[in-house]
Amino acid sequence: MTAISLGVPEVPVRPIAERRVSRQIQVGPLAVGGTAPVSVQSMTTTRTSDIGATLQQIAELTASGCQIVRVACPTQDDADALAVIARKSQIPVVADIHFQPKYVFAAIEAGCAAVRVNPGNIKQFDDKVKEIARAAKEHGTPIRIGVNAGSLDRRLLEKYGKATPRRSSSRRCGRRRSSRSTTSGTSRSRSSTTTRWSWSTRTASWRRSATTRCTSA
């Protein structure tokens, strides 16, 4: 049976939520924020120091529609593996830094497309903010400030008596602004312009189709 068009216009798809106005940055070749389409991001579950296994997961995620991949960097061995992974990955690699400020510098030097830091679990982060901002600016590397209730700054817990991630991220972003780094982008975890989920190639394509509903025209 042949379908007959009655000339009735299609109802536009309503966005799941209104997008927060943000500054657009580049994560490798991919535009993030501003009016750019919502990007799909995932994270590997391997030890980053296992380069072969990590690249295998990245390849599977890429085939499933993932556009940005995050890899954990809690050890020196992981930091040493970043250069090879960033070079061989087909999509931008974001280094998720833990514990030591020196891993931030290693990720920037390794050519990672971006760096994610959680100040609450990095020792002496406050003392290194200016150096980190300077290095990021020189290399054009955006920095994402990500916080969570499990690793908030102890001073904030003492002051407010409970988890206040918005205050923590705002405090850190404010400190970065005072360091005059103008090329690096920051975003709070709860309002990031990327969609994040645990590694799963079976759900990646579904997530990608879902995010198109959030994309600004």
pTM over 0.85: no
Name the band, by pLDDT with cuts 50, 70 and 90, for residue 46. very high
The domains of the chain are located at: 25-159
What is the sign of the dihedral through the CA atoms of 56, 59, 64 and 67?
positive
pLDDT of residue 216: 35
Classify domain 25-159 by CATH number. Answer: 3.20.20.20
Residue 153 has pLDDT above 70, yes or no: no
pLDDT of residue 3: 67
How many CA atoms lie within 13 Å of 44's alpha carbon, on the beta-carbon side?
31
- Start-end of H helices in the chain: 51-63, 76-88, 102-110, 125-139, 154-160, 165-178, 201-211
CA 43, CA 131: separation in Å to the nearest integer?
A: 27
Lowest mean pLDDT among 17-31, 33-47, 49-63, 74-88: 17-31
Strand-pair partners of 170: none
3 state DSSP class of 97: strand
